[in-house]
Structure 1
Amino acid sequence: MDFAPEFLASSLGREFVAGGLGGVAGIISGYPLDTLRVRQQHSNAGSAFGILRNVVAKEGPAALYRGMGAPLASITFQNAMVFQINAVLSRAFDSSLSAQDPPSYKGVALGGFCTGALQSLLLTPIELVKIRLQLQNNVYAKLHHADAHNGPMSVAKSIFKAEGLKGMYRGLTITVLRDAPAHCLYFWTYEYMREQLHPGCRKSCQESLQTMMVAGGLAGVASWACCYPLDVVKTRLQAQSQSSLPKYSGIVDCFRKSVREEGYRVLWRGLGTAVARAFIVNGAIFTAYEMSLRCLFNNGSLQAENAI
């Protein structure tokens, strides 16, 4: 993507580009684990290792990356906007701060909360398509009376044709309920942990790569742990198609039926996979983001302090 020099010369332009590069690093590093998480949430199919072995044996290793086109095609813009909006809002809640001072933890948390709510508008259709592709196999197609799809555009066209724009935004409410508090904790945890691991780095921006990776990984784990039951409900709501009789009529109905049929443990099914993925993915996201910022702000050269 060709960005104008004037755009990259601004702080917002650099935040945008760095956020996009971080998003790409995150999606590539953690997508197979995301596929396993979705399959665990959707049905009682056993452990993550059992599902992995079954998927590879019956569908091939490429099945672990099925549906990656939709999030990868949009992740640069999505993650870029998330980091840029958070940077703007965090400072907006601390308008008295000077440009040299980092935003307060309160400003970071409030900025993250609003960022999570806003990004749900972009994320809902993408995750809907991704989930349909990740769950797609012959058994799923027969169960939901659905045709097999070749890629994200095929799924999107099918949903739009059958249900219109409203169908593309199935799961919006639960996505907002999940992402607003999750992003609040996400950005707060990263800022807090990087400062604990490397005191003074929020001002000096001289933390090591190890600090970036660990703080980013812990931020991802915290955000997923706080919202995981909502993510299970979201997966089940977005997996069902209107072409067959929907099993769940809404968020509360999905929660009640899931718990009644499978117990409260169903709300935490796949958490181990999600946490492992979150640590890897978000460590990669924040490391790529911070390193990109340093490259852009230092004319392509990393500071010596960033070495592990």
Structure 2
Amino acid sequence: MSGLLRSVVGGLTSSRVFAAPLRCDAPPPSGLSVKAPETTASSTELDKFRKTFYNFATRDQIDGEVYLSEPDFVSAVAPEGDFNKIRREQYGILFKVADRRKVGRVNFDDFVAFEELLKKPAAEFDVAFRVFDSNGDGVVKFDEFKQVFQSMRHPESIPFDFDAPWVTLYLGKANGGHVLGFNEFTQLMKGLQGERLRQAFRHFDQNQDGYIEKRDFSRIIYELARHKLSDSVLANLENLGDVVPDGKISYSECIAFHNVIREMDLVEKVVREACARSPDGKITSQDFTNHASRTMRYGTFSPMEVAIIFHYARQGISAGEKPRLGLRDFGSLLDAKWGPPRPAGESKGKKATGTALHEIGKSAYYFGLGGIAGGLGATAVYPIDLTKTRMQNQRSKVVGELLYKNSLDCVRKVYKNEGFIGFYRGLPPQLIGVAPEKAIKLTVNDLVREYATDKDTGRIKLRWELFAGGLAGGCQVVFTNPLEIVKIRLQMQGENAKITGAPRQTAGQIVKSLGLLGLYKGAIACLCRDVPFSAIYFPAYAHLKKDVFHEGRDGKVLPYGEALAAAAAAGMPAAYLTTPADVIKTRLQTEARKGESTYKGVVDAFRKILNEEGARALFKGGPARVLRSSPQFGVTLVAYENLKKHFPYPEPHQSLSELVMPREEDLARVRARNALKVLLDVDTNIGIAKSQK
């Protein structure tokens, strides 16, 4: 009776006539009661499972059951867009594990159980074990292994001998063997591809001379590991014979190639670390071997394996053309999703237009983020900036009245005479102007560095770093100079009112009185300050992060504290060494009081300050400038980088939700894919119809 019921239910689920799609992110529709499954999952995890389930579920219009069909289930568990080497329909084999009742549909309880299975540390092997444990008794016998193995293989696959010694060692013979528990089964699966390779080589080595034809080698690897290799490597499999050019491929070469595939994660680790430590970001085979020896405690790659790694990384590159390889060169070997570049003439016009619009939008977006970051930095240190300005404008006793003994005395007197709000005089125009000022500096520096960075190594030469920073500093002057002259005059009003009784002016009145040309008074001094400041600051910051705090080494991401320390430390020499230009700029942009010297230009100001007040006057406010510029640029740059990180400009493949927070691949989907990869070691064609092979 139960078998008949299953047949009826299975027939209903296979017919879409009796089912209506249910697509929503909300809880189940009213009137549908869903019993909470027996599970150890937290309420947060259950909510996540429920959302996923009902987003892809189908509701049966006859009995109202909400379930996942096989296509629904694949959509719910398969990583999105990951169907290049592993086809979508192949994930259907996981459906058989989730369908605990064997009725052709997965309900919410089944789905939760499958998701919890994927949470286990050895989930990938557990899924495979359940596939082979066909009767569900907790062990895999010889007959079970053979039957499931053969059922998953394509009829035209390379033959596999179940009487081979390797199989006998694990499972014995058909009628007298031992059984495998879960742990033993995992070891069998770990060694399965090696045995398949041995048997396949023997199958094609008809005369047993230890060699096979190149086309036979290609077929073996294509059948064993197609899902693990890029299109570039697959297209050049027969070129393995070029490593040891003898016309055919030996068993040693087959094993060496298989070892490279098996240890691909370790290959990538060695390549990345060796390139990161290389002065130019590129390595030779000797560099690779040396770093592998340091990394691996008890073994290393054989010379043949290293030769194979570099052979496939050099596809299309002559030996004399590029003897040293960067990380980009290894991409086609390391990344199974890597594909050949688009032909130059394919959709050229559309692509160029799309790229140009994309880059313009990207620059404008990051320009805006730079403005936000600049505003945060300016507000954080504005009281220090006001103190610095007042100290720099103070003349010596010979020239004028000495109002402040030092920066601390200036702070006390500003607070006493003008109150707390006095520290923020001139802040509104500062914020209005600082947005485009900092934005253009950060954006120009980014653009030049991106242009000058070697795409193969990710490195940039020092001269380009200096040029990028200097150009960024020069470009910002168009915004900086008007901003600063208005800000300085607003900052000096409290002091002038106390001494001369001069009436206060608004920012608009100051701009009107100065006129367009007056807003650029002192622009040469501003250039003399901002160009060297940025040329020092940006390279120093980049090298402090990389060389002192070791960002990127072994995948290290700097915490906020270290990033802020690097940014602040880089600002110290940049701020102090450019203080003379800042003093001259301040004097040129401030209205001279009665009895004080006036200046005709940068050179005249430099001479008079030097003659009347001495060399020390050129460094007035230097400590305050360091105290202001160092934390300001620290806050600004760290804020900018984190805004870019958490609110990145959406690339063409990104969804709107990914704009808010970059999405990490869901661990359950990753493990579902890895579980399928374990089963693909049986045959890369599992789940694919013969006509589609």
Is 1:286 the counterpart of 2:637 in the alignment?
yes
Q: Residue 437 of structure 2 aligns with which residue? A: 78
Please state how far the C-alpha of 1:240 moved relative to its aligned partner.
2.3
Q: Residue 531 of structure 2 aligns with which residue? A: 180
1:142-181 matches, within 5 Å, as 147-149=503-505, 151-160=506-515, 165-181=516-532
Please state how far the C-alpha of 1:92 moved relative to its aligned partner.
3.2
Is 1:88 the counterpart of 2:88 in the alignment?
no
Equivalents in 2 of 1:75, 1:89: separation in Å?
A: 21
Q: Identify the match of residue 262 of structure 1 among 613, 634, 654.
A: 613
Equivalents in 2 of 1:186, 1:126: separation in Å?
A: 21
Cα distance 1:243–1:169, how it changes in 2: closer, same or farther (>3 A)? farther
Amino acid at match of 1:73: I
Q: Residue 192 of structure 1 aligns with which residue? A: 543
1:26-65 matches, within 5 Å, as 26-43=377-394, 44=402, 45-65=404-424
- Residue deviations 1:259-293 (CA, integer Å, cap 9, x gap): 22222111111111111122221221122111101
Q: Is the 8 A contact 1:129 1:156 kept in 2?
A: yes
Q: Residue 98 of structure 1 aligns with which residue? A: 455
Q: Residue 241 of structure 2 aligns with which residue? A: none
Equivalents in 2 of 1:99, 1:142: separation in Å?
A: 63
Q: Residue 563 of structure 2 aligns with which residue? A: 212
Please state how far the C-alpha of 1:16 moved relative to its aligned partner.
1.9
Equivalents in 1 of 2:607, 2:585: separation in Å?
A: 13
Equivalents in 1 of 2:629, 2:494: separation in Å?
A: 26
Q: Is the 8 A contact 2:391 2:620 kept in 1?
A: yes
- Residue deviations 1:242-270 (CA, integer Å, cap 9, x gap): 99997112212212222222221111111
Equivalents in 1 of 2:553, 2:478: separation in Å?
A: 30
TM-score, length-scaled by structure 2: 0.39
Query: Aligned residues: percent identity?
Result: 26
Is 1:136 the counterpart of 2:498 in the alignment?
no
Cα distance 1:202–1:7, how it changes in 2: closer, same or farther (>3 A)? farther
Q: Is the 8 A contact 1:187 1:219 kept in 2?
A: yes
Q: Residue 110 of structure 1 aligns with which residue? A: 467
Q: Which has the larger radius of gyration?
A: 2
Q: Residue 3 of structure 1 aligns with which residue? A: none
Please state how far the C-alpha of 1:15 moved relative to its aligned partner.
2.7
Cα distance 1:205–1:171, how it changes in 2: closer, same or farther (>3 A)? farther
Is 1:68 the counterpart of 2:424 in the alignment?
no
Cα distance 1:209–1:105, how it changes in 2: closer, same or farther (>3 A)? farther
Please state how far the C-alpha of 1:66 moved relative to its aligned partner.
0.5
SS at match of 2:647: helix
Equivalents in 2 of 1:87, 1:202: separation in Å?
A: 22
Amino acid at match of 2:376: A
Please state how far the C-alpha of 1:186 moved relative to its aligned partner.
1.0
Q: Identify the match of residue 122 of structure 1 among 476, 479, 492.
A: 479
Q: Identify the match of residue 300 of structure 1 among 638, 656, 660.
A: 660
Please state how far the C-alpha of 1:21 moved relative to its aligned partner.
2.1
Structure 1, 196-205 or 46-55: larger mean CA deviation: 196-205
Cα distance 1:180–1:66, how it changes in 2: closer, same or farther (>3 A)? same
Amino acid at match of 1:19: G
- Residue deviations 1:44-77 (CA, integer Å, cap 9, x gap): 4221110111111111111111011111012222
Equivalents in 2 of 1:9, 1:247: separation in Å?
A: 45
SS at match of 2:532: helix
Q: Is the 8 A contact 1:56 1:63 kept in 2?
A: yes
Cα distance 1:244–1:301, how it changes in 2: closer, same or farther (>3 A)? farther
Q: Is the 8 A contact 2:440 2:475 kept in 1?
A: no
Q: Is the 8 A contact 1:20 1:76 kept in 2?
A: yes
Q: Is the 8 A contact 1:116 1:180 kept in 2?
A: yes
Equivalents in 1 of 2:484, 2:662: separation in Å?
A: 35
Q: Is the 8 A contact 2:592 2:598 kept in 1?
A: no
Q: Is the 8 A contact 2:567 2:638 kept in 1?
A: yes
Please state how far the C-alpha of 1:85 moved relative to its aligned partner.
1.1
Q: Where in structure 1 are there 5+ consecutive unaligned residues?
A: 1-5
Q: Is the 8 A contact 2:390 2:492 kept in 1?
A: yes
Please state how far the C-alpha of 1:142 moved relative to its aligned partner.
6.6
Equivalents in 1 of 2:489, 2:459: separation in Å?
A: 41
Q: Where in structure 2 are there 5+ consecutive unaligned residues?
A: 1-356, 395-401, 649-657, 665-693
Cα distance 1:292–1:166, how it changes in 2: closer, same or farther (>3 A)? same
Equivalents in 2 of 1:73, 1:222: separation in Å?
A: 27
Cα distance 1:132–1:99, how it changes in 2: closer, same or farther (>3 A)? farther
Is 1:274 the counterpart of 2:625 in the alignment?
yes
Structure 1, 84-93 or 193-202: larger mean CA deviation: 193-202
Equivalents in 2 of 1:76, 1:15: separation in Å?
A: 12
SS at match of 1:27: helix
Cα distance 1:217–1:274, how it changes in 2: closer, same or farther (>3 A)? same
Structure 1, 83-92 or 223-232: larger mean CA deviation: 83-92
Cα distance 1:242–1:257, how it changes in 2: closer, same or farther (>3 A)? same
Equivalents in 2 of 1:204, 1:226: separation in Å?
A: 34
Amino acid at match of 1:264: A
Q: Is the 8 A contact 1:294 1:303 kept in 2?
A: no
Structure 1, 12-21 or 232-241: larger mean CA deviation: 12-21
Cα distance 1:260–1:14, how it changes in 2: closer, same or farther (>3 A)? same
Equivalents in 2 of 1:73, 1:265: separation in Å?
A: 33
Q: How many residues align?
A: 291
Please state how far the C-alpha of 1:42 moved relative to its aligned partner.
0.5
Cα distance 1:106–1:11, how it changes in 2: closer, same or farther (>3 A)? farther
SS at match of 1:148: coil
Equivalents in 2 of 1:213, 1:173: separation in Å?
A: 31
Please state how far the C-alpha of 1:100 moved relative to its aligned partner.
7.8
SS at match of 1:136: helix
Structure having greater relative contact order (Cα 8 Å, sep ≥ 6): 1
